[in-house]
Structure 1
Amino acid sequence: MTDQAHDAVILGAGAAGLFCAAEAGRRGRRVALIERAEKPGKKILISGGGRCNFTNIHTAPDRYLSANPHFAKSALSRYTPADFIALVESHGIAWHEKTLGQLFCDGSARQIVDMLTGECALSGVDIACGQEIAEVTHVDGLFRVRTGDRTLSARSLVIATGGPSIPKMGATGVAYDLARQFGLKVIEPRPALVPLTLGGGDVLFRDLSGVAAEVVASCGKAAFREAALFTHRGLSGPAILQISSYWRHGQEVGIDFLPARDGDWLIDAKRATPATTLRALLRDALPDRLAATLADRLALDGDLGNRTDEALRQAAARLGDWRFTPNGTEGFAKAEVTIGGISTAELSSKTMEAKRVPGLYAIGEAVDVTGWLGGYNFQWAWASGWAAAQAL
């Protein structure tokens, strides 16, 4: 086993690790990038349906969750979506905007991985894949990382191993083990951007598996207007994935099935066409199976003209805030990201360096900063990786 000296060793060749390595190498640092998987960027390749939703033009600190909501401001302000777009365009990668500011490759997510690994190659980064971390030590200001067939040493060590979401892609909680080894606090990690499961009285809605509709999903003060999808286990779709990051066990999730309608819309319909039925009105606005299920649950049969205004007002109110009580989530196996992680109280918001362990850095999903669905977590990977690279 040889002891190979570098200026920095970065653990994890995902989005944050690759970007940090390339940027630090560009600044003349001797960088080693260690990856457990056989190839770098595995999670990038499956993102955005294989087209990589690589950033969001509406990136702002208030679209991230953290125990310290101000922590992400510094990095996000210094490396912006425009900066990453410029890099993408310099590599001739065509892109397009979908809804809500989400940017995707016209081609494949492979283009982003090739761009990042190409930047690492230009910067002289030593990438070693298929390497299990056997031991990390820190003696006399020098970090040593021992893998199966080599030992690396450096004054700086960057934790970029992500969180435990999507374990089939090789994700683990090693970032938290390393943080605790060096005395850093870890905020309890839990699945985020994840489908919710239903039980009890809500289990009947599982029969709607495959039905989707645009709704407003809410939990507490958070609300998102996007598509919701019923599954054989519960609720999914963008609106639900978004709200899952805010949901905690025991809380209710509200669904507004008709976000374009005001509270008196049924009363107005009764006056305009008293012979119409609730079921018919819902079928005009929602998929047939969903309309039928909601009408059955409301038990408001017959012509609207035979119903009181109060009964119609109550039905409209329930359709505008239908309450579900999820009994859980589909866990880390289906979670796109992890909420929680290495406490931001332990890190410098400017450099991502641990305050109590000089030379130790944490970036990307390993840190307690979690973005909304739609490219925000990639932008955090680029921004936090860039911030650390400037200090290495």
Structure 2
Amino acid sequence: MPKTSSFDAIIIGAGAAGMFCAALAGQRGRRILLVDHSPEPGRKILISGGGRCNFTNIGATASNFLSANPHFAKSALSRFTPADFIALVDRHGIAWHEKTLGQLFCDGSSKQIVAMLLDECAAGKVETAFGQAATVEHRNGSFQVSLGKDVTQAPALVLASGGLSIPKLGATSFAYDVARSFGLKIVEPRPALVPLTLSGEEALFKTLSGVSAEVVARAGNGSFREAALFTHRGLSGPAILQVSSYWRHGDPVTIDFLPDLRPGWLRQAKRDDPRITLRRLLGRTLPDRLAETLSDQLGIGLELGNIPDRALDAAEHRLAEWQFAPNGSEGFAKAEVTIGGISTAELSSQTMESKRVPGLLAIGEAVDVTGWLGGYNFQWAWASAHAAAQSL
């Protein structure tokens, strides 16, 4: 435990947002205590990006985020950009590379990002209390945080303990519970960037477990062109994880299996090669097992020359707008992030401070700002942490 019982700010949650906020505020000369109930900081960082940490996305803008207020993230994101974080990574000599769609990963290990954040915290003389469960009270304008038998206090408290995703790594409702205790509104948390499950007649697609294809997937007002993966439980892969953030129970997920083909391609194929079957034709673009299943589902087994144009048009339309009806998702256990959280209507977009409780701030995944797959949520962690740190 720290010897000092009084700080300028107490930050609860030693994930990406919490550690970065603590480091920046500490380097501004603030006395900071960083608390986490886990004995190890940055556990979610360590598993991210397949262990290589997809630490930002070079194209990150507010349009890549979901929130009840789509404008809320603009201020923080504009004041701390991907280039700013890349400069920090470079300063620490961490090698990185760009994958598809602007995603940046460590060449080595995500452990390097955790080590970098801890080094930055050390540079800011941040004191830590890891493996400590915290309880919070507010008295006389001061936040009192009990850690076992010890009590610390500060005029500012930062909620950085994240959302409900991946409970096996220690995710809890702590940030929401504290926010509610102060009367702050919570946007209903639900799993995001999560595989979707299928049942009933669609269960036959489970025989395709392990098969993937590049598609355009749509749900709600979200549309993404990436790989979709069939699993023994339903649908996954980047395209599905992306649209899961936009999906609501009862809504369909629409898949275009052949996004590069122009309208009329089946009639043209019939004219070019009337003896070809749909299965063989689909197999030129799609994995064989998927081509077989789709042609069987469409009931077109004859050579195309024997199929009326009207039937080909119907098949073409269905392949472009194949609808699945997920019966749910794999839940918070498999969700990469939580959508929803502490309402942005309660917070200043400039400082991340509560409008009704002076000195109470919320950052990162605890807030109702959720990014796309591909490094966006880390960029929100860095940007919201930066915004809060400048105000502490």
> TM > 0.5 between the two?
yes
| Partner of residue 250, structure 1 | 250
| Partner of residue 71, structure 1 | 72
SS at match of 1:260: coil
Q: Deviations over 1:97-121 (max 9, x none)?
A: 0000000000000000000000001
Q: Kindly report the root-mean-square deviation, in angstroms, between the aligned alpha carbons of the 2 structures.
A: 0.9
Contact 1:167 1:332 in 2 (8 A): yes
Contact 1:3 1:151 in 2 (8 A): no
Q: What is the total number of aligned residue pairs between the two structures?
A: 391
Is residue 32 from structure 1 mapped to residue 36 from structure 2 by the alignment?
no
| Partner of residue 270, structure 2 | 270
SS at match of 2:276: coil
Q: Percent identity?
A: 68
1:221, CA displacement in angstroms?
2.5
| Partner of residue 307, structure 1 | 307
Q: Deviations over 1:50-90 (max 9, x none)?
A: 00000001101011000000000000000000000000000
Pick which of 91-100 and 146-155 moved more: 146-155
Counterpart CA distance in 2 for 1:81 and 1:289 is 41
1:150, CA displacement in angstroms?
2.3
Aligned residue identity for 2:328: G
Contact 1:3 1:150 in 2 (8 A): no
Q: Deviations over 1:338-391 (max 9, x none)?
A: 000000000000000000000000000000000000000000000000000000
| Partner of residue 17, structure 2 | 16
SS at match of 1:184: coil
Aligned residue identity for 2:341: G
Moved over 2 A (4+): none
SS at match of 2:143: strand
Aligned residue identity for 1:245: S
Counterpart CA distance in 1 for 2:312 and 2:147 is 67
Is residue 105 from structure 1 mapped to residue 106 from structure 2 by the alignment?
yes
Counterpart CA distance in 1 for 2:345 and 2:33 is 27
SS at match of 1:136: strand
Contact 2:34 2:128 in 1 (8 A): yes
List alignment gaps of at least 5 residues for structure 1: none
Counterpart CA distance in 2 for 1:50 and 1:105 is 9
Matches within 5 A, 1:212-291: 212-291=212-291
Counterpart CA distance in 2 for 1:145 and 1:307 is 73
1:49, CA displacement in angstroms?
0.2
1:3, CA displacement in angstroms?
6.8
SS at match of 1:352: coil
| Partner of residue 189, structure 2 | 189
SS at match of 1:383: helix
Matches within 5 A, 1:1-392: 4-133=5-134, 135-392=135-392
Aligned residue identity for 1:119: E
Counterpart CA distance in 2 for 1:149 and 1:380 is 35
Counterpart CA distance in 1 for 2:138 and 2:220 is 44
Counterpart CA distance in 2 for 1:127 and 1:109 is 21
Q: Deviations over 1:28-58 (max 9, x none)?
A: 0000000111110000000000000000011
Aligned residue identity for 1:116: L
Contact 2:5 2:151 in 1 (8 A): yes
Counterpart CA distance in 2 for 1:141 and 1:249 is 42
Counterpart CA distance in 1 for 2:247 and 2:362 is 26
List alignment gaps of at least 5 residues for structure 2: none
Counterpart CA distance in 1 for 2:351 and 2:384 is 8
SS at match of 2:171: coil
Counterpart CA distance in 2 for 1:170 and 1:206 is 31
Counterpart CA distance in 2 for 1:61 and 1:201 is 39
Counterpart CA distance in 1 for 2:344 and 2:221 is 23
Counterpart CA distance in 1 for 2:55 and 2:151 is 33
Counterpart CA distance in 2 for 1:128 and 1:149 is 13
Aligned residue identity for 1:327: N
Aligned residue identity for 1:112: I
Counterpart CA distance in 2 for 1:39 and 1:197 is 33
Contact 1:217 1:239 in 2 (8 A): yes
TM-score by length of 1: 0.99
Counterpart CA distance in 1 for 2:203 and 2:62 is 37
Aligned residue identity for 2:177: D
TM-score by length of 2: 0.99
Contact 1:76 1:380 in 2 (8 A): yes
Contact 1:3 1:153 in 2 (8 A): no
SS at match of 1:5: coil
